[in-house]
Amino acid sequence: MESEISYNPNQQELEMCQKLISKAKTAFADPSQSGYYVRTAGITENGDIVTGGNKENSLSDAYVHGETAVISHIRDVYGKVPIKAIGFYKEGNITEEDISPCGACRDVLIQQTSPDLLLMSGNTNKIVVLKLKDFTFDNFHRINPTDIDAIGLKEALIALNKSVSFYIPENLKRKVYGVSIVDQNGNNFRGGLYTNCGYDAITPGLAAVQTWNNSDQEKTGINKIVITGRNILPSPYYRDRQALLELSEVTYQNNVRVELINLDNLDNIQEVAITDTTEWLPRPFSAGNFGMNEAIREQHNKMFH
């Protein structure tokens, strides 16, 4: 079996990869919406292997992803043990692009595993292996607060203040942020966190995208995205990074500027960092990355015409 891996594996590690991919092939998946089977397996540090597959619900979303199914299975059976690797079975040719957790799964993987978690995709002919840290980015570039204009800040702050966070614990409330998408005409489309007693959350970036889509404002390109937190520099969820990247794809824009702003209790700017919609989502899970150009074109035409 051919192997491409981000470190030099010993024979035992290669055998583990082969065993994990073979087990993933047996996982049950039910992709009633996407038609894409994500057959997955995970292995703990103790060598215990479990399977998991994606399950989807009609016109709703994938209520269980392959990665989250495996993590839940491990936690149910073995508890809070370290997870060493997660593998995906895929037929045909294998490349690094076949490993691309969606934003929501990246958020779970970051919380439940380590940056050195091995993520692999393959079959009996070839396995490609990367690490979770290959899919994360928080090395935001700090700039002087005087180097930004205030456009979008007020609306992002309103979104932060309007966030519904009553159902989350105090230690998580400090991480809440507000988002404003600023178009080239200076219009703002804001989004804040919404949670309810069923713990069904709409994250701020996705909420801002929905505001953009539902607005009667004549659509232009995006000028920038402003994200603000209080007493913390925002580190947006990867599901939000994905949603905002997809919007930039639909508007036919690359590398849309993102400003991350930390405010104190008096709403004074404490620090500012910048990134863009491409940089902050390495190895992206998006329509553009998957070559879904027709879907992007149809969305663009519907939005702008």
Mean pLDDT score, 90-98? 88
pLDDT category, 304, cuts 50, 70, 90? confident
Instruction: Give the largest Cα separation in the chain, rounded.
Output: 60
pLDDT of residue 164: 95
pLDDT tens for residues 171-212?
A: 999 999 999 999 999 999 999 999 999 888 999 999 999 999
At 57, list the tokens: 């619900």
Residue 217 has pLDDT above 70, yes or no: yes
Q: Which helix (H) or strand (E) is 286 found in, with range?
A: none
Q: Which domains does the chain have, with CATH numbers?
A: 2-135 (3.40.140.10), 141-304 (3.40.140.10)
Four-CA torsion 273, 247, 289, 178, nearest 10 degrees: 40
> DSSP character for 198?
T
The average pLDDT across 243-250 equals 96
**Does residue 232 carry a pLDDT above 80?**
yes
Write down the pLDDT at residue 299. Answer: 92
- State residue 59's pLDDT score: 66
Residue 170, CA distances (Å) to 136, 149, 173, 227 in order: 25, 32, 5, 20
β-sheet bridge partners, residue 191: 179
Cα dihedral 97, 101, 107, 111 in deg (nearest 10): -100
Task: Quick: pLDDT tens for 43-64.
Answer: 999 999 999 999 988 666 668 9
Predicted confidence at residue 61, as pLDDT, reads 65
- What mean pLDDT is reported for the chain? 92
pTM: 0.93
Is it the case that residue 245 has pLDDT exceeding 80? yes
